[in-house]
A and B are shown apart, each in its own frame.
Chain A
Amino acid sequence: MKDPILNRHLVINPDLVVLSPAMVPRTDAPQISQMLKVPLNENKFFLEAHVKLRPVDFATEGVFLAGLAHSPKTIDESISQAKAAAARACTIISKDKYEAEAIIASVNEDICSGCGVCESVCAYGAPEIVLKEGKRISQVNEALCKGCGSCVSSCPSGAMQQLGFKSQQLFAMTDAALK
């Protein structure tokens, strides 16, 4: 074989040769991804919420990631990642109450026309059209909402607002930046 560091050919006589074959993601990963609403990267491995800040979490609450589902890695790395995932899961299980995200979508029921656009664009199924006092309006399930704001930007009547990222706030930011 050729050694790239020495830049010359070496002859080795081993008793046992162990090959490290390519690791490929499972073929059913896309189905699981759709079922649990968790993202995959371009190579069809699961994608964590943030590489540095939340390495074993998914954006979807309560789903964690470890091992070869994430990327090709050694067994040591898989074990430490699994321990981390278990610890992260404990942070949820150990509490009696769970605090939801603050930056979720909220509906102004007076303006909402119940068109259902928010329901169709949401990847998490958080907004839902319900009948309230004989009127079709959207209602956001606060536990499911992840706060992406897709429904807010697609709401034709401006009834949907994202707390912390209200349209008025973003307009004000743009205006200030252009002064």
Chain B
Amino acid sequence: MNKDFKPKIIVFCCNWCSYAGADLAGVSRLQMKPYFRVIRTMCSGRVDPEFVLNAFTKGADGVMIAGCHPGDCHYINGNYKTRRRYLLLKQMIAQLGINPQRLRLEWISASEATKFQQTINNFIDEITKLGPQSQYPYGEV
């Protein structure tokens, strides 16, 4: 494992829960590894599978989709749609040669700043262990 490896991680956060949770984590000064970038969408249901594939194509080492807990969606049921898409997408990226562990779906509410911190750090550790995605030009699975 390369010690200098700094993973590039894209986190799609829904505006109402996870983005607010990330905000709270920042305001509460919880320490997180600086290898992720948050992209805000209004709902996790807005995350088109194409966004995730685009991120992997452009060199992301990991992608996380974060939304409201089931039943807590601001838009009634957007996160259920995300969950269905995510399960299909996980199978699809495996077929494309990307380790499905590089894609994660998490439920983080606006008050769960510590959960956001832990999930992010945990995901970054996992991706660091897996190494850069680009080292497998013919697929890693």
Residues of A near any B CB (own CB < 8 A):
37, 39-42, 47, 49-51, 59, 103, 121, 123-124, 146-150, 152-154, 162, 165, 167, 170-171, 173-175, 177-178
Q: A49-B74, A51-B110, A153-B45 are in contact. Are A178 and B39 (CB under 8 A)?
A: no
A170:B39 contact, CB within 8 angstroms = yes
Partner-contacting stretch, out of B26-34, B50-58, B95-103, B121-129: B50-58
18 A-B pairs (CB sep. < 8 Å): A39-B76, A42-B69, A59-B74, A103-B42, A148-B45, A148-B75, A149-B46, A150-B45, A150-B46, A150-B75, A153-B45, A153-B48, A174-B54, A174-B58, A177-B10, A178-B37, A178-B55, A178-B60
Q: Are B45 and A39 in contact (CB under 8 A)?
A: no
- Sample of 7 more A-B contacts, CB < 8 Å, known A42-B71, A177-B8, A178-B8: A39-B71, A123-B75, A124-B76, A149-B45, A150-B78, A150-B81, A153-B48
Q: 9 closest pairs, A vs B, by CB?
A: A149-B46, A148-B75, A177-B37, A150-B45, A123-B76, A148-B43, A153-B48, A178-B58, A174-B55
- The interface centre, meaning the residue of B55, B74, B76, B110 with most chain A CB atoms within 10 A of its CB, is B76
Q: How far is the CA of A41 from the CA of B41 in the complex (A)?
A: 22
Q: Interface residues, chain B, CB within 8 Å of chain A?
A: 8, 10, 16, 20, 37, 39, 41-43, 45-51, 54-55, 58-60, 69, 71-78, 81, 85, 110-111
A40 contact set on B, CB distance < 8 A: 71
B75 adjacent to A146 (CB under 8 Å): yes
Which applies to chain B's interface (DSSP): helix, strand, loop or mixed?
loop
A152 touching B74 by the CB < 8 A rule? no
B37 closest partner in A (C-beta): A177
Are the CB atoms of A165 and B41 closer together than 8 Å?
yes
Would you call B76 and A37 a contact (CB within 8 A)? yes
Contacts A167-B48, A174-B58; A123 near B77 (Cβ below 8 A): yes
Complex Cα distance A51/B24, Å? 13
Whether B39 lies near A153 (C-beta < 8 A) is: no
Are B39 and A177 in contact, with the CB atoms below 8 A?
Answer: yes
**A59 vs B73: C-alpha distance when bound (angstroms):** 10
B48 touches A148 (CB 8 A): no
Q: How far is the CA of A167 from the CA of B54 in the complex (A)?
A: 11
When chains A and B are docked, how far (Å) is the Cα of A49 from the Cα of B51? 27
Q: A148-B43, A162-B42 are in contact. Are A47 and B50 (CB under 8 A)?
A: no
Chain A, Cβ-Cβ closest to B85: A153
Q: Shortest Cβ distance from B81 into chain A, in angstroms?
A: 6
Minimum CB–CB distance for B137 against chain A, Å: 17
